[in-house]
């Protein structure tokens, strides 16, 4: 038999059942806002116009105005949601440093913008290029972090008549030795659009690599890195109009950063090259902290190891031997293999961590001069072909050195 309540009690009973049905805290939890504080504070990308005002950041349909969100008494006027200092007017959503999220630097949208990948400020995202477990990190005996292997390469490996990497010989050579950081010259590929340069880096090294390519140069210098590039730019080479000194500050595991400079000195004479070296040393002394590591690499066009420019570079890097060589002990890096055109030079702090360069089952105690014409077995540097280093207009050999730095 159903219980009946007096008329004056029925409204109170109804309210009681309604409260039980609703229960406490039924408001949906919104997904994380795609513009968190981690997004807006990366040091790397520094301001592409594409990212800073996208529809994901600051004002999505989920955030601050959805049918579900804005109707509860708790949510619709809270300090956190819908117009708080954090969400829609903060460092997130359009700051000058936004545009470098972990999703940004390798996305299809990013890689094809005209701003990215060729601008003076572009260098990839702060997470692009790998974690401490990437790029040859090996577990060392130390209990406080281990060590990281860093393979550096100087590469002026263009071929054909266009001073570009279009023919593919240089790309295969770089793939064959798997470098972590490349100081590259004549950094041209197809139309030189952002999409084409990104495609070259992806093909030669992988989608996780970041890069910097100087803008407005006929034969630009650049830096390609497995590790995050956190700053980059170019210093003026007053002796030439079609390129400058391209530099990058790289976040390697451990307390020190690695600064690298990609250079392409002139062929017009040793005096001009020494002027270039003098100017570059001034830039380095003014900008690179002595506590960080430094590497200068690329095409020096030096006729001998006693040239004045190498003496000048001694102020900031170690230029002493022993020197890299091929399997036959030849250290020449020009096409005729008679002159040391190309170099990887590092400061004394990094030089003490140099180790043998190991490729497959082959060991090069002082580093490798990469000439596929004499390299055996060629399978160790696959997909490179024997003929690649002898390709038409291939005027240089690659130089590779390896270092193992502490992570503490």
Whether residue 218 is preceded by a cis peptide bond, meaning omega within 30 degrees of 0, is no
The Cα–Cα gap between 283 and 81 comes to 48
* Reported confidence tier of residue 165, pLDDT bands at 50, 70, 90: very high
Model confidence at 79: pLDDT above 90: no
Does residue 47 carry a pLDDT above 90? no
pLDDT of residue 145: 67
pLDDT tens-place string over residues 253-303: 999 999 999 999 999 999 999 999 999 999 999 999 999 999 999 999 999
Query: Residue 203 class from Cβ within 10 Å (0-12 exposed, 13-18 middle, 19+ buried)?
Result: middle
For residues 209-233, give the mean pLDDT: 98
Residue with tokens 């919104």: 30
* Amino acid 64: pLDDT: 34
pLDDT of 85 reads: 37
Residue 217 has pLDDT above 80, yes or no: yes
Please tell me the distance from the alpha carbon of residue 211 to that of residue 124, in angstroms, as a whole number: 6
Q: How far is CA 83 from CA 3, 77, 78, 80, 96, in A?
A: 50, 9, 9, 8, 20
Q: Output the pLDDT for position 405.
A: 98
Answer yes or no: is pLDDT of 329 > 90: yes
Positive or negative: CA dihedral 382, 385, 200, 181: positive
Average pLDDT, integer, range 64-79: 35
Sign of the dihedral through C-alpha 360, 361, 366, 370: negative
Q: Token pair 């002159």 is at which residue? A: 339
Q: Please state the rounded mean pLDDT for residues 54-76.
A: 35
Q: What is the mean pLDDT of residues 145-160?
A: 96
What pLDDT was estimated at residue 108? 33
pLDDT digits (tens, 9 = 90+) for 303-326: 999 999 999 999 999 999 999 999
Tell me: pLDDT of 396 over 90. Answer: yes
């Amino acid at each position: 038999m159903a219980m009946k309540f007096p008329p004056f009690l029925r409204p109170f009973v109804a309210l009681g059942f309604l409260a039980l049905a609703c229960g406490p805290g039924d408001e949906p939890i919104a997904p994380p806002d795609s513009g968190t504080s981690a997004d807006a504070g990366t040091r790397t990308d520094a301001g592409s116009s594409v990212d800073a005002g996208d529809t994901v950041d600051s004002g999505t349909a989920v955030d601050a105005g959805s049918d579900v969100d804005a109707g509860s008494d708790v949510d619709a006027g809270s300090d956190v949601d819908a117009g708080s200092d954090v969400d829609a007017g903060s460092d997130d959503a359009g700051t000058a440093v936004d545009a470098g999220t972990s999703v940004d630097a390798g996305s299809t949208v990013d890689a094809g913008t005209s701003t990215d990948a060729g601008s003076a400020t572009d260098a990839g995202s702060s997470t692009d290029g790998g974690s401490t477990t990437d790029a040859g990190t090996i577990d060392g005996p130390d209990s406080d972090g281990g060590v990281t292997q860093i393979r550096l390469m100087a590469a002026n490996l263009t071929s054909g008549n266009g001073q570009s990497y279009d023919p593919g010989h240089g790309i295969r050579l770089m793939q064959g030795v798997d470098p972590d950081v490349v100081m590259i010259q004549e950094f041209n590929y197809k139309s030189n659009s952002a999409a084409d340069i990104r495609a070259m880096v992806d093909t030669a090294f992988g989608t996780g690599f970041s890069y910097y390519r100087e803008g407005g140069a006929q034969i630009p210098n650049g830096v390609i890195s497995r590790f995050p590039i956190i700053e980059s730019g170019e210093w003026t080479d007053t002796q030439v109009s079609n390129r400058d000194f391209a530099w990058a500050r790289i976040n390697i595991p451990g307390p020190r950063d690695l600064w690298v400079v990609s250079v392409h000195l002139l062929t017009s004479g040793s005096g001009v090259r020494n002027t270039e070296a003098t100017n570059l040393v001034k830039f380095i002394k003014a900008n690179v902290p002595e506590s960080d590591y430094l590497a200068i690499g690329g095409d020096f066009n030096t006729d001998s190891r006693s040239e004045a420019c190498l003496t000048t570079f001694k102020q900031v890097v170690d230029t002493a031997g022993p020197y890299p060589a091929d399997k036959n002990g030849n250290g020449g890096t020009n096409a005729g293999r008679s002159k040391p055109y190309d170099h990887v030079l590092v400061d004394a702090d990094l030089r003490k961590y140099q180790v043998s360069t190991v490729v497959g089952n082959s060991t090069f105690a002082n580093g490798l001069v990469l000439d596929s014409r004499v390299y055996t077995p060629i399978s160790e540097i696959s997909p490179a072909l024997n003929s690649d280093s002898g390709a038409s207009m291939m005027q240089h050999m690659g130089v590779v050195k390896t270092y193992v730095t502490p992570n503490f």
